């Protein structure tokens, strides 16, 4: 077994060999570890950790008069209650270090009153029980913390992607002393204020993630949204969704141009810098529907979306009472007048197709998710929806809506595709009408064909009628081995 003394020492083992860093508007991290490091003998004033723990060093030259956030993080950290890495910040020179701040995996430090030309030194070490640790370190220029009260709220722009945006923090922010509103969140924590203007869609989807882009979860930040004016605010919502490392709010059916206020609350446990974004799917509404070409397969994982008010948040084939969050597609009817839509999902969905236009939609067909139990695993996803469209006018544009079971959701659609004749077909739904189902190679079915239905299967190679397949007494069923276009 190798002893610590035989391990290669890192190049930045001492203050004199500190690695130079840059500060940025975003958290652009350097990765490091203290494996094989010695202890320099320097100990930060606020560190409640024993001496003798291995440390490594970084340095930064102040080039502009701005606050700087020192942020230490570990990807998907599981060592927050007992921090596995700590840091101390000094200014001066290696021979004469002046301690100014410290922090750890859970607590960043915001440095103020710096002067251009100051030399900063950052000492990173493992804590007791975590003597050797991997970590990430970044230096950030945040926006000024002038938004301590509603009247100084900072206007936010809607940023569709959670990248290349502004870093905010609740350092130097105080709790509301005498709030003039009833909060749906706790009022005992430091709160910063922001302002948003409702866009033309009437929907707001605002998300906050860690300034490092979400690699480390955002700790103990709550978002609350208000209507009204400062001094006369009414709370609308507090953190109505948490998805992965994101926390956020969703407000729908508001008046375009209306100003709402957002309160960001961060508890004493954690002081992570954060960024705002509004990562709504491009095809969140009918008028921005994604075009699906015949035979094309589209992957749309984690598409954050809001409900549509037209024609209705609920699909006509209904699921749970809170269905509504949706994304939209369009397709052109082929010369046969028929097509099939395949949709896979990792959560309950419904798929509905319409004719008309975005202001006047008429449902054609609506299908819910089908169980996959007992069927070959040829698709990726927990649920599968097959939607067959027939007897349409060639050349017409149809609108297709994929609807989630949540009022605000991250739809995870491994694929949606539209086909005139698919290679393979899986039929699991109950059939209660005239249906012509074709496949280039194989049809597999465990469906129930109800009384008085007329159903034809036509596959190029084989038709597999699986356990559970049933044709009721007064229904008509035919199977053909002929292939696409043969019926």
Determine the average pLDDT of the residues in 89-93. 94
- Per the structure block, which two tokens stand in for 49? 């950790």
CB distance 261 to 155 below 8 Å: no
pLDDT at 131 over 80: no
Determine the average pLDDT of the residues in 357-366. 90
Beta strand pairing call for 241-243 and 246-251: antiparallel
Which residues 6+ apart lie within 8 Å of 434 measured at CB? 453, 454, 455
Rounded distance, CA 192 to CA 198, Å? 20
pLDDT at 367 over 50: yes
Q: For the beta carbon of residue 180, count every other beta carbon within 10 angstroms.
A: 10
- Taken in order of first residue, the domains within the chain and their CATH numbers are 4-140 (2.60.120.510), 150-277 (2.60.120.380), 280-420 (2.60.120.380), 423-487 (no CATH)
155-167 pLDDT, tens digit each:
987 665 565 568 8
Which residues 6+ apart lie within 8 Å of 373 measured at CB? none
**pLDDT at residue 3, as a whole number:** 42
309-336 pLDDT, tens digit each:
666 656 777 655 555 678 899 999 998 8
Give me the sign of the Cα torsion angle 54, 59, 65, 68. Answer: negative
Give me the sign of the Cα torsion angle 301, 305, 307, 310. Answer: negative
CB distance 133 to 73 below 8 Å: no
**177, 180, 184, 186: CA torsion to nearest 10:** 10
Q: For the beta carbon of residue 7, count every other beta carbon within 10 angstroms.
A: 13
pTM of the model: 0.65
Mean pLDDT of the chain: 80
Rounded distance, CA 70 to CA 109, Å? 5
């Amino acid at each position: 077994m190798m002893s610590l003394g035989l391990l290669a020492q890192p190049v930045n083992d001492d203050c004199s060999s500190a690695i130079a860093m840059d500060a940025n508007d975003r958290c652009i991290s350097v990765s490091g570890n203290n494996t094989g490091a010695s202890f320099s003998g320097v100990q930060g004033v606020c560190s409640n950790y024993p001496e003798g723990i291995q440390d490594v060093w970084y340095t930064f030259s102040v080039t502009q008069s701005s606050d700087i956030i020192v942020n230490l993080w570990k990807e998907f950290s599981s060592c927050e209650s007992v921090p596995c890495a700590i840091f101390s910040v000094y200014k001066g020179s290696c021979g004469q270090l002046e301690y100014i701040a410290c922090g750890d995996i859970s607590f960043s430090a915001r440095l103020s009153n710096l002067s251009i030309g100051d030399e900063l030194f950052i000492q990173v070490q493992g804590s007791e029980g975590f003597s050797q640790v991997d970590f990430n370190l970044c230096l950030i220029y945040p926006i000024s913390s002038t938004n301590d009260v509603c009247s100084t709220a900072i206007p936010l722009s809607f940023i569709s992607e959670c990248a290349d945006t502004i870093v905010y923090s609740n350092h130097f922010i105080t709790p509301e002393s005498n709030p003039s509103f009833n909060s749906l969140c706790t009022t005992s924590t430091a709160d910063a204020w922001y302002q948003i203007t409702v866009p033309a869609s009437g929907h707001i989807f605002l998300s906050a993630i860690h300034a490092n882009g979400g690699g480390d979860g955002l700790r103990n930040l709550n978002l609350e949204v208000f209507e009204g004016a400062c001094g006369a605010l009414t709370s609308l919502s507090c953190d109505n969704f948490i998805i992965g490392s994101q926390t956020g709010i969703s407000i729908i059916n508001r008046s375009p141009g209306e100003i709402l206020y957002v309160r960001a609350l961060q508890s004493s446990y954690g002081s992570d810098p954060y960024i705002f974004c509004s990562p709504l799917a491009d095809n969140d509404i009918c008028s921005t529907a994604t075009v699906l070409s015949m035979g094309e397969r589209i992957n749309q994982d984690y598409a954050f979306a809001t409900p549509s008010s037209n024609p209705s948040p609920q699909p006509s084939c209904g699921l749970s009472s809170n269905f509504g969050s949706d994304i939209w597609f369009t397709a052109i009817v082929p010369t046969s007048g028929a097509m099939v839509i395949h949709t896979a999902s990792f959560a309950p969905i419904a798929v509905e197709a319409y004719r008309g236009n975005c202001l006047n939609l008429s449902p054609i067909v609506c299908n819910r998710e089908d169980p996959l139990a007992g069927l070959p695993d040829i698709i990726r996803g927990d649920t599968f929806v097959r939607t067959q469209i027939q007897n349409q006018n060639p050349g017409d544009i149809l609108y297709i809506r994929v609807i989630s079971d949540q009022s605000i959701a991250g739809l995870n659609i491994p694929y949606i595709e539209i086909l005139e004749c698919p290679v393979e077909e899986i039929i699991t739904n109950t059939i209660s009408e005239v249906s012509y189902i074709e496949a280039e190679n194989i049809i597999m079915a465990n469906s129930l064909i109800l009384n008085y239905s007329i159903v034809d299967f036509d596959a190029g190679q084989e038709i597999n009628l699986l356990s559970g397949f049933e044709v009721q007494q007064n229904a008509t069923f035919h199977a053909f081995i002929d292939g696409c276009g043969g019926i």
